[in-house]
Structure 1
Amino acid sequence: MERLSVEAIISKINAEETFHAVSEDYSLTLKINDYVHYVCGAVHDGHQFRKELWDNCLHTEYERWYEEDPETKTMIASHPIVIAGCDSRFEYDLNRTPEEAVFETAWGKQLWKQPLPHDQKQKSLNKHVNFYKVVHALIAKLEEKFGVCVVYDMHSYNWKRWDREVPTWNLGTSNIDNERFGEMVEQWRQYLSKIELPHDIKPTSKINDTFQGNGYFLKFITNNFKNTLVLATEIAKVYCDEYDYIIYPEVVSAVEKQLKEQIPKHAASFYKKHHI
């Protein structure tokens, strides 16, 4: 992996170079082993939290971890194109608009002892802007090259706080073209329902059951690129104990191993049906 400016990353994308880079400010990573018609993204994988923010933050490290999506990058790490955020969504949330990306309150609790100074807020927002410059360049290149693209937008959610049975996998589809892509959504739901996990975890998968796919990552790509399908894919945090702050690596590994097979299979089916 090399450390590159955002401009250098975009230049490499435009030149169709393969590379594995972290941005100069350590806010994002992008791996391109091969130019293919699908991307895996993990915008909430990051846990970094700038040290200058620590003393002003009312939330504990555990509270931040609880709302992040740990290990979602690991689950997709083997694929040819992987983009991920490195910073905690408590610094700035890549899945919210620039206007809403820096929280004042988070999950019902005030985030800062004192309002963030303008320069600290701007530093966070600049990272948000740079991430989307890279996303735009990447999807533009793939649409130019293949005509269509599919993005697997990986997230996780805290299932224990629901007062009803919730699915192991949820697809959020309220902001995509379901008339055009509905068959591919249903196929992806079926593929996820076949993923076998340790400890007798039920492989249930539903559409818009817990979340509807209202994230900015999905909306940004969908609004800017007419031939790219973004599949907001949420796994319940069955791969960790969300209350005791423990990751179950054997479950993460089982997810990664099976997504390694299911994602390319689904992406091939998508390309066959939708390429122009």
Structure 2
Amino acid sequence: MSLTYLYQLERYESPFWAFAIHDGHHVDERLIPHYNISEDERLREEDPYTAILAELPFNRFLSGTSRFQLDLNRKREDAIYLRPEQSWGMHVWRSDLPDDLKSQLYETYDRVYEEINREIERTIDRYGYFLVYDIHSYNMRREGPETKLDNTANPQINIGTSHNQGKWRKLTDQFIRAIQSGREGQTYDVRENVKFKGGFLSAYLNDRFGDKGCVFSIEFRKDFMDEWTGEVYPQKLQEYKQLLLQSIETLENYFAYER
């Protein structure tokens, strides 16, 4: 019996996709005896609640499985954290992971990417274009819960676009402007390619389909939760989700009139 990889793929009548590939916390029970890290340590480096941010009127890919089982935002050879340099210096496994378990994980990786590939192809065949919101979050207090926040290096929202083709520059500028302004004149610190530039999912999709669409890898600073305890701040989470919802009109207008 193969190792379980939990995820949801939901189709909507839309050319747009929302991915939350690091939201999950589940690990297959057969892997648990091999882990050298605690559940709390795993949670701190996962992106909880990003599946809620991805609840948009889009097609959706939501991972329920921890990145510490299989990381879909890494190249195949890095998708299992076998060395500390792949995982923030953490020794994830007690000893070498058995080859049969690694083989199953790599087979799952291949199978899931084949499915993602088919879905994007289907979207392009139907609409002629696509766009992905690749939604993540990032830690801002790695040294401890009392670490002073450095706003200079940690924007509230980082948009990773390094893999996108230049033809999407105008759309990118419009999208960033759309999420910089909230309700009642509130503005947000939104910057491009400061903290993160986009991971393997973006590179993969752009390499194959980049002339037909692009990927916005959206990294929210973990202002909406306590990154050390996992406690969520619902009001802030919904505030960020509202920014994504209000950006949809920008996408629709661009692809209707300007592309």
Give TM-score scaled by structure 1 length.
Answer: 0.83
Counterpart in 1 of 2:6? Answer: 27
Verify: 1:259 aligned to 2:244, yes or no: yes
The Cα offsets for residues 211-259 of structure 1, whole Å up to 9 and x where unpaired, read as 111x111011101113121111111000101123211122222222342
Does the alignment pair 1:49 with 2:27?
A: yes
C-alpha separation in 1, matches of 2:228 and 2:45: 11
Asked if 1:172 is matched to 2:157, the reply is: no
Unaligned runs of 5+ in 1: 1-23
Question: Given that residues 196 and 203 in structure 1 are in contact (C-alpha distance below 8 angstroms), is that contact kept between their aligned partners in structure 2?
Answer: no
* Structure 1 position 39 matched with structure 2 position 24: no
Provide the C-alpha distance between the structure 1 equivalents of 2:25 and 2:216, rounded to a whole number of angstroms: 23
**AA aligned opposite 1:43:** I
What is the CA–CA distance in structure 2 between the aligned matches of 1:195 and 1:209, rounded to whole Å? 21
Aligned position for 1:181: 168
Matched, 1:94 2:72: yes
Partner of 2:112: 131
Partner amino acid, structure 2, of 1:247: V
Q: 2:139 aligns with which of 158, 163, 169?
A: 158
The alignment's C-alpha RMSD in Å is 2.1
Instruction: Pick from 52, 69, 72 the counterpart of residue 50 of structure 2.
Output: 72
Question: Could you say which residue in structure 2 is the equivalent of 1:3?
Answer: none
Report the TM-score, using the length of structure 2 for normalisation. 0.88
The structure with the largest strand share of the pair is 1
Q: How many residues end up aligned between the 2 structures?
A: 245
Cα 1:145–1:120 change in 2 (3 A) is same
Shift >6 Å, 4+ stretches = none
Counterpart-to-counterpart distance in 2, 1:195 and 1:137 = 35
> Gaps (5+ residues) in structure 2?
143-147
Q: Tell me if structure 1 keeps the 8 A contact 2:18–2:56.
A: no
Give % identity. 25
Contact conserved, 1:37 with 1:271, CA < 8 A, in 2?
Answer: no
Provide Cα deviations, 1:146-174, integer angstroms capped at 9, x if missing partner. 11111111111112238631211001122
Cα deviation code 1:104-137 (max 9, x no counterpart) = 1221121111101011112222222222111111
Q: Is the 8 A contact 1:181 1:229 kept in 2?
A: yes
How far did 1:180 drift?
A: 0.8
SS in 2 for 1:116: coil
- Of 232, 241, 254 in structure 2, the residue corresponding to residue 270 of structure 1 is 254
- What letter is aligned with 1:149? F
Amino acid aligned to 1:259 = L
Equivalent position to 1:146, from 116, 127, 130? 127
Equivalent residue letter for 1:50: D
Kept after mapping to 2: 8 A contact 1:150/1:270: no
AA aligned opposite 1:270: Y
Match of 2:236, as an amino acid? Answer: V
2:179, 2:243 within 8 Å by CA — same for their partners in 1? no
Indicate if the aligned counterparts of 1:169 and 1:192 stay in contact, CA closer than 8 A: no
The corresponding residue for 1:241 is: 226
Which residue of 1 is the match for residue 177 of structure 2?
190
Whether the aligned pair in 1 keeps the contact of 2:129 and 2:212 (CA below 8 Å) is: yes
Q: Which amino acid aligns with 1:127?
A: T
Supply the distance in 2 between the matched residues of 1:129 and 1:274 (Cα, whole angstroms).
Answer: 36
